[in-house]
Amino acid sequence: MDVYKYLPQALAFYIDNYRLKEHITEIRLRRNKAVQLTVLGKCDTACGIVLRDNELEDIFYKMCGGSRNIYDDEISNGYITLSDGCRVGIGGEFYYNASLQKYILKELMSLNIRISRDNVFFENQSILFEKTVPATLVAGPPHSGKTSLLKLYAQQLSENFRVVLCDERNELYTENINCDVLKGIKKPLAVSMATRTLNPQYIICDEIGLREEAEEILSAVNTGVKFICSAHGKTKADLMRRPNVRLLLDSGVFEKIVFVAQQQNRFFIKDCTDV
């Protein structure tokens, strides 16, 4: 993993030789606290490595390529995304800058590195691509493989269709996906730009749920484009409790809901149901 280059040597060595290395989904770094790994859904602090103040700041400085200013907008939303697609959540003290109309990080206290993996195999994924792929909502809890499945959709669909990835957090696009991509742009604007300028047959975007996103998706559907999106939720009832996701489901934006799950680092399609 490229993330090793940002870590202190002792920690990188420990993780590289960790017996369940392939099952690590998160690396949590907290100032003056033991490093914590999320492994198969459970926390492990067995390494006993503690990061001091300057070490945490040094790691963050390297992740930002030596300039935090480049990542100001992402930091104000509580994360940055590394070049390999790993998202790093930021914990600490923020303050609101009225003139800039955004939150500024005042004191860094923790970093949560969420490991991104390409080419994740879903044990029964073939059922999704046997026929014409309908407009689909991918749903599941955190770490269930939603983003990985969206990448798979992008790879499969881009072989025969015009596909646009609206990759707001720089987590979806990889070099082996032959499609158009709009990176680092908030989803409502990206969806609008895609429909106006790129003539897609499919638009793929991650983690929908805001009112502005729902409204723009509803507008774009009228142009004939199909959406493949993801949202948090273990069941349809969970999704229907989210007002803006419910709006999209009730409006017929999606034809199918695919529920994904992960157990012992095995990813599979838990359920596939018509809307």
Q: Using CA atoms, how far apart are residues 105 and 26, in angstroms rounded to an integer?
A: 22
Better pLDDT: 176 or 122: 176
Judged against a pLDDT cut of 70, whether residue 78 lies above it is answered with yes
Judged against a pLDDT cut of 80, whether residue 2 lies above it is answered with no
Q: What are phi and psi of 195, to 5 degrees?
A: -70, -30
DSSP 51: B
pLDDT at 213: 96
Per CATH, which fold does 125-274 belong to?
Answer: Rossmann fold (3.40.50)
Q: Kindly state the average pLDDT of the residues 171-179.
A: 87
pLDDT at 45: 78
Q: Using CA atoms, how far apart are residues 135 and 253, in angstroms rounded to an integer?
A: 7
pLDDT at 194: 96
Q: How many CB atoms lie within 10 A of CB 43?
A: 11
26 close to 45: Cβ distance less than 8 angstroms: no
Give per-residue pLDDT as tens, 43-61.
887 678 898 878 999 999 9
**What value does the mean pLDDT of the chain take?**
90
Q: What are phi and psi of 206, to 5 degrees?
A: -105, 150
Q: Using CA atoms, how far apart are residues 143 and 166, in angstroms rounded to an integer?
A: 20
As beta bridge partners, residue 266 has: 263
Q: Kindly state the average pLDDT of the residues 118-132.
A: 74
pLDDT at 121: 63
Judged against a pLDDT cut of 80, whether residue 230 lies above it is answered with yes
b/e code 137-169 from CB counts within 10 Å (16+ = b)? bbbbeebbbbbbbbbbbbbbbbeeeebbbbbbb
Q: Using CA atoms, how far apart are residues 202 and 195, in angstroms rounded to an integer?
A: 10
Judged against a pLDDT cut of 70, whether residue 273 lies above it is answered with yes
Q: What are phi and psi of 86, to 5 degrees?
A: -70, 130
Judged against a pLDDT cut of 70, whether residue 232 lies above it is answered with yes
Judged against a pLDDT cut of 80, whether residue 119 lies above it is answered with no
The pLDDT-based confidence of 23 (bands split at 50, 70, 90) is: confident
pTM: 0.78
Q: Using CA atoms, how far apart are residues 260 and 201, in angstroms rounded to an integer?
A: 24
pLDDT at 118: 64
pLDDT at 174: 83
Per CATH, which fold does 2-114 belong to?
Answer: Beta-Lactamase (3.30.450)
Which pair of structure tokens corresponds to residue 168? 């707001």
For the chain, domain boundaries? 2-114, 125-274
Q: Kindly state the average pLDDT of the residues 99-111.
A: 92
State percent of the chain over pLDDT 70: 97
**Diameter of the chain by CA atoms?**
55
Give per-residue pLDDT as tens, 82-92.
877 788 999 99
Q: Kindly state the average pLDDT of the residues 221-244.
A: 95
Length of the chain: 275
pLDDT at 1: 59
258 close to 128: Cβ distance less than 8 angstroms: yes
pLDDT at 198: 96
User: DSSP letter string over 150-190?
Assistant: HHHHHHHHTTTS-EEEEETTS-S--TT--SEEEESS-HHHH
